[in-house]
Structure 1
């Protein structure tokens, strides 16, 4: 009979603290108590070994026969795994009996925990051995670490993700970097935001973070950040993990690479051209050929190279960079980059063709999901077809600044006055307007018009005139805006009665009518526009029309109707993912509430709108939002009638009020002025203390929750019920 040593375990001592991972440790302990086999899976360097060793240390008192760690990374022969386990347990060799049989007999009556670390390259052999051992040992437990599950019945698999690395200083990834840095360089001062950026670039991978922190002995934090584009050369150094291996990040990721089949390695390299998550169809379109007719995506998921998220796949930047190195070595980088670009160009053309129809929501969802890949394709695109095909992303989905960058680059490269340049010019003009640059918008729109007319393209000429009209309105040129909008409508109508440009031109015509004090005329125009949009199943232009219709209804003394149309605009903007437009619609809901005498609701809505804007554009420069002067106005009153100004004599008259409100659709300064007016009205209705309290309540509300409450409240009102959602009712 084999004999054991007198010691109870061989758990290695940890040389540094384990940061975070409380939830994972608790879950592992629960799983070990319930299942004979628990496998921790995950990519290179995420900390599987660290968690397994810490679990073994914490559970020492729970196993009368000890906890034992068996490190298998150096073992290349699956037949010798049993001998490694026997050596860890202190069993004498018994050459007359098969080692699996010896182990099965030994553990049969034992209460022990066996940690098999790094089973990646030996999964079949490990599974075969455990299949023999575990049925005979009801009180034994095995905790394994591997890139993929072992595949035994009853196995519980726990994927280990990288550490979270958001911008706040309390993130576990930031804490890990900071602790390791201070241990190496005492007294070092670090900017938490800069540390968070480095941690995000490193995907929150603990091994990468620890290696980066070690470089602070010779490099500044800024230098580390600048060199992360070549992270595998930067992150060289020893690892403080209790089981010392993976001396560099390249070694850790390379270990996964060695475990892959030839087909999996080729796919890994080719998938590195994707800059964000992707689905199987996109992977096939870009990566499949005669060398790779069937894509082994499941195999890469099993080996933790890819993470499956529903129907899509994700690859960490660190893993992608390694695949990119192999793609260059294979000489396929240029070809795969072109295939990636061509795939997204084909998708973008289809999206553009179907945008102004019943599939608008689907394409908006596609654009949001694929924005990282679209940006990568644009980075490798020398023409203008892709960036102009994506005009709806830049002009309708709140991505004006990003689109403007690529559009201006395309215009610098494409100087020939042809239809392609005309299109790039009007799209760039629209993006500039969305970015708050009215001067650039007017200049680009003028050139676009001239180029389109010369090319005989009335549709592009109409688009150019439409942007010029909106820019003129933003600049206070009412006559110019009316003339240009009418011209835009006429030109777009020549392109066809259902041309998308016509609906946009009608919105601007209606805006001009509102500013001129002709709300009935605006309603007439917008009724036709809404009918036309409904016939096509178009939502975005309809939402623009609903916003202006809300302004017109306020001018007609109908705050209830104004609220209904603002609510409709908000619903569509939110569904399309246009948070900037959604915040404007929420501002208009606040204006309608204030006009109807509900200052409490107006205050809460203004707070929620500011929160939505901040979430949409956290780093966007621009004028600060005004703090309205706290001067008392008139007290609460009945809903205003046409021609009244609820603020009283200290506010501008109705025409100026609506000029500011309409201006808010095309100007950030106008939007700020409109919010200031609403704030003054709400403060006059409820007082400063109540206003500040309710504004703060809206300010801390998640935008999605705010929209849901507004949506539900609309249903409550339609049914005659009282909403139970506080001030967002």
Structure 2
């Protein structure tokens, strides 16, 4: 399975010799680093080699794009995301990653290492030592520098062959009706490829200029630009000069507002949409209504590329924009706008958590993850109060979709800097407690819940009191104290007469109450309240709480010997958890579905699905978890399925479930 690789959005040209030599390199080395200057095509060569299977058939390819990272802080987390690890333990991220990959056969691509060479050296060394089935393909402007690494220099395309093909291909895409095959056009194309030294990015940018004139005109402007640079500011080697000229030339051909947008977009770290561009870049002469046409102009000139439903700027082009941002004296203002824009994005997501766009907000925050982290880094140094607010609001989203380490790290950093008592600090402590709970630190979560309750009482913070009740209630449930959990939830709900959807904290307390009813054996009451809450969630387009009502309804159906109904609820839970990207919740749902299938006599499917469930539990770093009621059901259903199939057949099906593509297995069972 190929995991997390970018799409090849344009045709790949040439590099046959490089592809062959790269395959040979991996026959004798576990780490190969593609080196070369920016724009020479290192990442594109790596992507084509991976997606075409040139490097052989490893079970999994994980592509980690390191270009959005400002420093090494999120390196291990980024590689974990790429490799499918959503660690829910308090281990150091690098240790968890080594444990996760230890028994896997995987090709890991570390793309754009040059600004994190020391950190990449340490992480790659640890991974290669701990994970014998791992190989690494890196791209960098310099070698990573670990023992046994093979440096593979990527050079320009040949002027008289592949460079001509690439330029012609991009020129025809930019200006389909333009003539390129006449004698004068052929001479001009050859001259452009020679003057740009066959650098792929330079050729792409030059090809895009054919929207503005003939190939002869483009060649003449390029000749003039290079002559001027030779006279004023010679650069060595020549290929660096060629790329710099091509980028600078593209910059000159931009309209003034396009240049300003280019500079301001350089503060964005990841893929962005038009609304993010407006939020970050509007100001002065660049009005909101001017962003869309300016962005379209940058796309037309290949300065910005489309990535799915969003946009992306290549590192080399972003660096040029950042240089101009500094020349304009706007760096500080742009970083501030960026931080405020993503703080506002997190606020809107948090405020919309109960609404019909809930699943969409989870997806938007996942896509914006590098920029949310960059905004938090900025606010930690400039506005600790805003950083604390932002971390507290995004923490619950992150806890759901596998970013527990980041949630805890940013929350602890913000709380250490912002000591002012009040609801902002209380909420941050609550979010930290939720993260600790999911990492298995029940005592720490309980202490934080009690602290939140005390501070919310002091501040007459009603939402704070209810949030603390949720945290304490869940802690009681996971510790086997359903009566205590129910009492905490009921006290909090006594002041919430407007129903479960009055606020997020009220909804969560209703869930605690339902869990407590199930845990204390009041199954009919639990069923009635879970069904009522589920209907309310469905009518509002809410998924998070709805998924846990399905969890309870499935569990109760198993208790009451209704396996088909239990399976139906478990599949509904899995569908919702998949929409939110909740690996922990998927693991829970798979356990429930496996138990329901075993209870219904579908023993082969139950055994295989139990194996798939184990694969997901490994991905969160925990043994099987959940409320205490689930454990005995798991054990009984495994015993029954094993008895029906025999140990050998059960173990064979179980291994198949562990080893098959987990995401495809999930898609299959959700579809029924």
**Alpha-carbon distance change, 349 to 558 in structure 1, aligned in 2, over 3 angstroms:** same
Q: Is 1:435 aligned to residue 462 of structure 2? A: no
Question: Where in structure 2 are the equivalents of 1:72-221 lying within 5 Å?
Answer: 202=139, 209=140, 211-213=141-143, 220-221=145-146
What is residue 44 of structure 1 aligned with on the other side? 39
Please give the alpha-carbon distance, in whole angstroms, between the structure 2 residues aligned to 1:172 and 1:532.
44
* Contact 1:19 1:175 (8 Å CA) reproduced: no
Cα distance change on mapping 1:577 and 1:193 into 2, 3 Å: farther
Alignment partner of 2:569 out of 565, 570, 581? 565
* 1:372-425 CA distance string (max 9 Å, x none): 222222222232222223244134444333222222222222222211112212
Deviation at 1:192, TM superposition (A): 5.8
1:697 equivalent to 2:638? Answer no
Conservation of the 8 A alpha-carbon contact between 2:266 and 2:319: yes
1:679 matched to 2:609:
no
Query: Residue 18 of structure 2 aligns to a residue in which SS?
Result: coil
Q: Distance in 1 between matches of 2:516 and 2:599?
A: 21
For residue 344 of structure 2, what is the aligned residue in structure 1? 346
Matches of 2:345 and 2:656, distance apart in 1? 42
User: Which segment is superposed worse, 300-309 or 331-340?
Assistant: 300-309
Retained in 2: the 8 A contact 1:462–1:490? Answer: no
Distance 1:253 1:427, change over 3 A: farther
Q: Aligned equivalents of 2:518 and 2:597: distance in 1?
A: 19
1:251, distance to aligned residue in structure 2 (A): 4.9
Q: State the TM-score, normalized to the length of structure 2.
A: 0.64
Alignment of 1:468 onto 2:472: yes
Distance 1:502 1:253 in 2: 58
Measured against aligned partners, the alpha-carbon deviations of 1:4-36 in whole angstroms (never above 9, x if no partner) come to: xxxxxxxxxx9995125999xxxxxxxxxxxxx
- Per-residue CA deviations over 1:656-707 (Å, capped at 9, x if unaligned) read xxxx85238xxxxx87x87555433432221222222222332344344333
Of residues 298, 313, 316 in structure 1, which corresponds to 2:314?
A: 316
Correspondence for 2:507: 503
CA contact (8 A) 2:355 2:540 kept: yes
Q: Call closer, same or farther: CA 1:275–1:197 in 2, change over 3 Å.
A: farther
Pick one of 369, 372, 379 that aligns with 1:371: 369
The secondary structure found in structure 2 opposite 1:221 is: coil
Name the CA shift for 1:48/1:451 in 2 (closer, same or farther; >3 Å).
Answer: closer
3-state DSSP class of the match of 2:283?
coil
Instruction: Identify the structure with the greater helix proportion.
Output: 2
What does residue 463 of structure 2 align with?
459
- Paired with 1:193 and 1:322, the residues of 2 have a C-alpha distance of 38
Residue of structure 2 in register with 1:111 after alignment: none
Query: How far apart in 2 are the matches of 1:21 and 1:493?
Result: 71
State the Cα distance separating 1:476 from its structure 2 match: 2.5
Mapping of residues 272-671 of structure 1, within 5 Å: 272-293=266-287, 294-295=290-291, 296-381=294-379, 382=384, 383=386, 384-493=388-497, 498-614=502-618, 617=619, 621-622=621-622, 662-663=627-628
Which residue number in structure 1 is paired with residue 224 of structure 2?
Answer: none
CA RMSD of aligned residues (A): 4.2
Note the C-alpha offset of 1:437. Answer: 1.8
Q: Distance in 2 between matches of 1:584 and 1:691?
A: 20
2:667 counterpart residue number: 708
User: Using the alignment, how far apart are the partners of 1:554 and 1:287 within structure 2?
Assistant: 55
Cα pair 2:537 2:543 within 8 Å, conserved? yes
Cα distance, 1:302 vs. partner? Answer: 4.1
Distance in 2, matches of 1:497 and 1:50, equals 52
Q: Take 2:112 and 2:421, find their aligned partners in 1: how far apart are those partners?
A: 56
In structure 2, the CA distance between the partners of 1:346 and 1:238, relative to structure 1 (3 Å rule), is: closer
In 1, Cα distance between the equivalents of 2:274 and 2:490? 47
Alpha carbons of 1:599 and 1:462: their partners in 2 closer, same or farther (altered >3 Å)?
A: same
Task: Tell me the equivalent position of 2:262.
Answer: 268
Whole-angstrom CA distance in 2 between matches of 1:252 and 1:194: 43
Query: Is 2:423–2:459's contact at 8 Å kept on the other side of the alignment?
Result: yes
With structure 1 as the length reference, what TM-score do the two structures score?
A: 0.59
Number of residues of Structure 1 aligned to a counterpart in Structure 2: 490
Structure-2 separation of matches of 1:428 and 1:680: 38
Secondary structure class of the residue paired with 1:261: helix
Contact 1:459 1:491 in 2 (8 A): no
Q: For 1:313, what is the secondary structure of its paired residue?
A: strand
Deviation string, structure 1 residues 234-291 (Cα, Å, up to 9, x no partner): x9x9958766787499656534421222545543332221121001221122113334
For 1:234-249, list aligned pairs within 5 A: 247=237
Mean Cα deviation higher: 253-262 or 685-694: 253-262
1:506 Cα deviation after fit = 2.5
Query: Secondary structure at the residue paired with 1:278?
Result: coil
The structure whose Rg is larger is 1
Check the 8 A contact 1:498/1:532 in 2, yes or no. Answer: no
- More deviation in 526-535 or 433-442? 526-535
Quickly say closer, same or farther: Cα 1:299–1:445, change in 2 above 3 A: same
Deviation at 1:449, TM superposition (A): 0.9
User: How far apart are the structure 1 equivalents of 2:283 and 2:451?
Assistant: 44
Q: Which has the higher contact order (CA 8 A, sep 6+)?
A: 2
CA 1:563–1:377: 2 relative to 1, 3 Å: same
Is the CA contact 1:327–1:333 (under 8 Å) kept in the aligned structure 2?
yes
The residue number in structure 2 matching 1:19 is 19
